């Protein structure tokens, strides 16, 4: 009997790629579960039927010790397979939330699916939502929460994208936390698109207490970015869940690393707030290159801090070498600004700085590609007009 049941459930799970079953068929499947097995062992069931590893099953079984029969889990697995979840999706879901196997199919799961379909979610979108929501999908409140979030984020696709990084949205209290926070962020000039982007990088922000988010806004203004400005969302993201003390430590780090005055730190942070999130090692390596090798002035960097968000190996160093070589060989004007060269897209940079010099420097493109890979550029034959880097 155990082998027969496992075979049936495995077949249901393997059918996940087929079109989603109609809701009445899902409810019907849940209403006629397979017969219980008197020798049912939770841990064995999790491995053989749900696809968990032995270690995962051992951990998950402690939350399912009350189960004496596969009746409910079989119904849940059949339901999930009918929604279109793959065996891997189901295994990951059960590993994260073992109690999902005990959820009432008709009273909760089918109810939620019907509610979400009524909100306009497609069957495939519902199937994608289940692994993202995990334990929240076994609560009826998920329907009312998505009724609020869908208009906020504009589409199910946007919402699913946010939920991929921010499951906190489904945990937060809508009336006491989320709605007041959204209203406050809008007062600060952040629209729905900005709010969704903020949730991707600071996922807990909507679910925090309103007093906390107001404190974050005050801290963002304290670093020189006024509420309502275009950079306010970036500033809010940079200081989210940080204290005044931690921000002060980061400011001192920037002073010491780049030789900036307090005013120069203020200029840099106001223009590029994410400086406050960058690691000390990252800043140090870029400082050593820009100040020592590229010989830039600290004030020059402070007024163009976005360059610090670029890759040292992938952009800062290779483009510096190209501009330096072209200047030294009279192929571009000596006053050509390094920062402007950094800001070009890759295609635009190649079109402007590499392609026009194919005759004068035929190996420039090859050496630039090597430099972008972190290699030392090499020449294929001696040239009098091409100096070694």
Ordered DSSP codes for 7-63? HHHHHHHHGGGSPPPPHHHHHHHHHSPPPP-TT--HHHHHHHTT---HHHHHHHHTT
pLDDT of residue 111: 96
- The domain locations on the chain are 1-139, 244-309, 312-372
pLDDT of residue 25: 38
Q: If you average pLDDT over residues 282-304, what whole number do you get?
A: 96
Query: pLDDT band at residue 389, thresholds of 50, 70 and 90?
Result: very low
Token pair of 58, please?
Answer: 């051992």
pLDDT of residue 384: 40
Q: What is the rounded average pLDDT for all residues in the chain? A: 86
Number of other CB atoms surrounding residue 181 within 10 Å: 21
The Cα–Cα gap between 57 and 335 comes to 66
Q: Where are the alpha helices (DSSP H) in 119-243?
A: 123-133, 141-153, 156-165, 168-171, 179-187, 192-201, 210-222, 232-239
Say whether pLDDT at 55 is over 70. Answer: yes
Instruction: Summarize pLDDT for 139-192 with one digit per residue, the tens.
Output: 999 999 999 999 998 899 989 998 988 777 888 889 999 999 999 999 999 998
pLDDT of residue 262: 92
Instruction: Summarize pLDDT for 232-257 with one digit per residue, the tens.
Output: 999 999 999 999 999 999 999 999 99
pLDDT of residue 38: 60
* Residue 90 near residue 80, CB atoms below 8 Å: yes
Q: If you average pLDDT over residues 275-302, what whole number do you get?
A: 95
């Amino acid at each position: 009997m155990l082998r027969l049941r496992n075979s049936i459930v495995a077949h249901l799970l393997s059918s996940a790629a087929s079109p989603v079953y109609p809701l009445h068929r899902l409810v019907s499947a849940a209403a006629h579960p397979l017969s219980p097995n008197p020798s049912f062992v939770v841990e064995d069931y999790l491995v053989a039927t749900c696809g968990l590893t032995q270690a995962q099953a051992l951990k998950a079984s402690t939350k399912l010790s009350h189960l004496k029969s596969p009746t409910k889990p079989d119904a849940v697995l059949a339901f999930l397979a009918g929604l279109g979840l793959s065996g891997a999706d189901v295994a990951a879901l059960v590993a994260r939330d073992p109690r999902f196997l005990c959820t009432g199919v008709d009273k909760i799961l089918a109810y939620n699916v019907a509610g979400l379909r009524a909100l306009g979610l497609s069957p495939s979108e519902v199937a994608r939502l289940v692994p993202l929501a995990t334990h929240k999908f076994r609560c009826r409140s998920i329907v009312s929460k998505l009724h609020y979030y869908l208009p906020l984020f504009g589409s199910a696709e946007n919402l699913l994208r946010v939920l991929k990084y921010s499951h906190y949205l489904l945990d937060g209290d809508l009336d006491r936390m989320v709605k007041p926070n959204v209203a406050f962020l809008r007062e600060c000039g952040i629209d729905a698109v900005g709010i969704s982007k903020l949730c991707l990088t600071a996922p807990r922000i909507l679910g925090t207490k309103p007093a906390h988010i107001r404190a974050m806004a005050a801290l963002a203004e304290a670093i020189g970015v006024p509420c309502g400005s275009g950079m306010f969302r970036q500033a809010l993201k940079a200081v989210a869940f940080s204290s005044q003390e931690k921000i002060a430590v980061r400011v001192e780090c920037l002073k010491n690393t780049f030789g900036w005055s307090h005013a120069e730190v203020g200029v840099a942070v106001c223009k590029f707030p994410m400086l406050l999130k960058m690691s000390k090692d990252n800043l140090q390596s870029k400082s050593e290159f820009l100040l020592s090798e590229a010989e830039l002035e600290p004030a020059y960097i402070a007024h163009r801090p976005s360059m610090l968000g670029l890759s040292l190996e992938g952009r800062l160093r290779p483009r510096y070498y190209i501009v330096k070589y072209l200047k030294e060989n009279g192929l571009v004007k000596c006053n050509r600004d390094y920062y402007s060269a950094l800001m070009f897209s890759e295609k635009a940079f190649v079109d402007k700085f590499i392609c026009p010099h194919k005759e004068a420097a035929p190996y420039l493109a090859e050496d630039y590609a090597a430099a972008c890979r972190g290699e030392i550029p090499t020449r294929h034959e001696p040239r009098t007009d091409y100096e070694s880097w």
